Each structure stands twice: as structure tokens, then as C-alpha cells.
Amino acid sequence: MMSFEYFIGGRYLRAKQKETFISFITMLSIAGVTVGVMALIVVIAVMAGFESDLKNRILGIESHVVIMRHVGPFSDYHKILSRVVNTKGVEAATPFIYTQIMLRSSSGVSGAVLRGIDPESAGRVIKVLDNSALLKIKKMHQGKATGSVPGVILGKELARNLGLGVGDVVYLISSRGMISPMGYLPAMKRFQVAGLFESGMYEYDGSLVYIHFRDAQKILHLEDSVTGIEVRVNDIYNARHISDKIIADVGFPYWARDWMQMNHNLFSALKLEKTVMFIILALIVLVAAFNIASTLIMMVMGKTKDIAILKAMGAMDGSIRKIFIFKGMVIGFMGTTLGVCLGFIMCKLLEKYKFIELPGDVYYISTLPVRLEALDVFIIAVAAMVICFIATLYPARQASKLNPVEAIRYG
């Protein structure tokens, strides 16, 4: 059977005609909690969507783990590569060469980051690269395509800045040239654009250049050496553990970094922004909690005689506190439930219809990404209920401290 505290608390929720003002304040309290919870869910879901989308774009062009040597390029990469591939949890691995170069076209000159890749295995690690472009680079390196000019893959923004398209010719200029009687001459080689890629990140699309790693070795005079090995793992959140296993296997002087270490500052900033937004928007729920406290305080003042009679009949202080805490928690629960439902509906509408557009020249995406996570919703709901519970403590305590004799005499 329902205890008398909950029965009386339920009766107090159904205000009488003379208590219309208190009922109105109660509705405002429920609405305040609803708006606060809904805003929290929508904003946190959008920020989680931004983080997830950004992570997917970064991991589409970067590997999960990078293995390099302390003293620079190394030539025994075939042996290291075979040991890396046989490590449990590794999906694929590929050698790479990394350096900075200059690009020159008929339209201009631009600095760029050169990455020499193995077309045979790069597609399994770097997902943003198109397989047809990788195949074309391989054929052009082998001289099977028309002409003997090697191929290059450019980011779309870099190609646009240089006025290049697929099939156009571009010159790669490296600082690792040679000394001649005329002085130091930088290395320069002619390439043909085999394809373009678009990651959605301007930093990558405006600076990255991919060529066959054998061509990169010739330009940089590396013979049969590479800068490092890129690794893709099955579980991205287990990348650090896998990288530690790889280094334990290959030993010094090799070292490894996982994707979380390479992008630590970026994801730390996103996490901090998410936390700050949670705190700021939780103030909306806090304001609603003050309304709950006000409602209960006015109800305590209006129910002085009722409380006195209950205490005279033997009700303990704890029972009186429970009555008003119960009413405040019902208000908080109703507001939280409505807020969760409306927040879920808003997130689904944003995800399906994408009616909020973002300027493409400012953001790397055109619509708001939404990622609703169950843990975020749970934390928001619990936080809202805790705030509402704290708001009920003072009015409930004041109600329990009433002296029944004085309340009946002067009430």
C-alpha cells in the first residue's frame, strides 16, 4: 500500500482553486526543467557529433599508429613491416616517406607536405585515397601508362590554388638537391596529376601530396629507406596498447605514437568545450530548481495548519520532510522526462532534415552533425534530478521544524 507521505504529497500536487498561483509556479518549474534538459541534450549531442565527425575525417587520412626510428629514416622496414602485420589487433600496415616540398605549376607556386606511399598497401590504411588513383600511380610509376611521367595525388584545395586538374603537369621541388660547379641546385621532378582527394579538412586538402614511395626515395636520395610505417588497427580505442606491443616487439631505437597522442590538443579542447557547455546550460536547470524551491516554500506557508495537524497526530519530522521532497522530486521527474523526450525528438529532426545550414567558408561541414549517446543522456537526467533534489531540502527542512502548537494557534 502507498505510504501516507506519498499520498499526501500527491494530493498537494493537485492544487485547489484557491491555490492556482502555486499551481502556475509548479507548471513554470516543470517547464524550466524541461527546457534546460532539452537544451542540454541537443547541445551535447551536436558537440558529440562534431567530435565524432572530426575524428572520422582525421582517421580517414591519418593512420591509427605511426612507427618511426629515433635516428631518422631506416632501410630494414621490410622486416619491421612483417612483424607489425603479425601483431594481434593490427588490420594493415604500409611504409611511408614524409617531407616538405614546393610545388610549381603554370599558375603559381605553393608549399606542400609530401607523403611517399606504397600503392599496394596504402589504400588499406589511408581510407581517403581512391583505389583508382592509387592504381594509376602504380601504373605510371611502372611506365605502363601513357608516357613515363610519374603520378601524383593532390588535395582538392591545393589543386585549386595551383590551378591544376587531373592530367595536368606539376613540378615537385625538394631542398635535397645536389652540389654542382654552379652551386647548390634543388631537386626538381616533373609529375602528372593522377587524382584528387577530399577529406573535408582544409589543413589536409590544402597541403598534402601523395606520390609513389620509390619516386620519393629518388627525389630525396634515400635509396631504399623510409621515414616510418603507418598502421591501422581493428579497435581505435585500443591503439595505444597495440602500439606498446609493437614497440616491445621491435625494440629500441623505434618509437610509436597513436592517433590520440598525435591529436591530443585538439580532442582535449573539444572535451573541455563540451564540459563548459554542460556547466553553462545546467544553469537553466538551476533556475528551474529555484522555482521548485519557491513553490515548496509557498506551499509550506499555505499548509501550516495541515502540517501542525499531521505532527499532532504523530507524524515524525522525517515524514514531513518526505512529503515535500516527494512533491519536488515529482516536479523534477516530470520536467526531466519531458526534456529527455523533446531533446530526443529535436536530435532526430536535426539528424534527418538538416534544416540548420553552416557557412562552408567558415566550417568544414555544411550541416550540424548529431550524435546522441545514451551515457550523455543518462548523466544529464541524473544531474537534473540531483539539482531538483537539492532544491527541495531547505523547504522540506523548514516544514519539519514547524511547532504544531504555535502553527495551530497562529495559523
Q: What is the pLDDT of residues 153-174, one digit of tens each?
A: 998 889 988 888 888 888 888 8
For residue 159, is it left (φ>0), alpha (ψ between -120 and 50) or beta? alpha
Other beta carbons within 10 Å of 165: 11
In 3D space, the residue among 129, 107, 143, 93 whose CA is nearest the CA of residue 210 turns out to be 129
User: pLDDT-based confidence at 408, cuts 50/70/90?
Assistant: low
pLDDT at 1 over 50: no
pLDDT of residue 141: 73
Q: Which amino acid is at 157?
A: E
pLDDT at 348 over 50: yes
Calpha distance 390→118 (Å, rounded)? 61
**Span 288-305, mean pLDDT?**
78
pLDDT of residue 396: 84
User: pLDDT-based confidence at 131, cuts 50/70/90?
Assistant: confident
**Span 317-332, mean pLDDT?**
83
Calpha distance 154→199 (Å, rounded)? 11
| 256 against 6, higher pLDDT | 256
For residue 128, is it left (φ>0), alpha (ψ between -120 and 50) or beta? alpha
Q: What is the pLDDT of residues 37-57, one digit of tens each?
A: 999 999 899 888 888 888 888
In 3D space, the residue among 257, 254, 209 whose CA is nearest the CA of residue 81 turns out to be 254
- Per-residue b or e along 285-314, where b marks 16 or more CB atoms closer than 10 Å to that residue's CB: bbebbebbbbbbebbbebbbebbbebbeee
**Span 320-324, mean pLDDT?**
81
User: pLDDT-based confidence at 403, cuts 50/70/90?
Assistant: confident
**Distance from chain centroid for Cα 364:** 14
Which residue reads 553553462 in cell numbers?
280
* This prediction's pTM: 0.74
Output the nine-digit C-alpha cell for 48: 558529440
Q: Which residues contact 276 (CB under 8 A, 6 or more apart)?
A: none
Q: What average pLDDT does the structure give for the chain?
A: 82
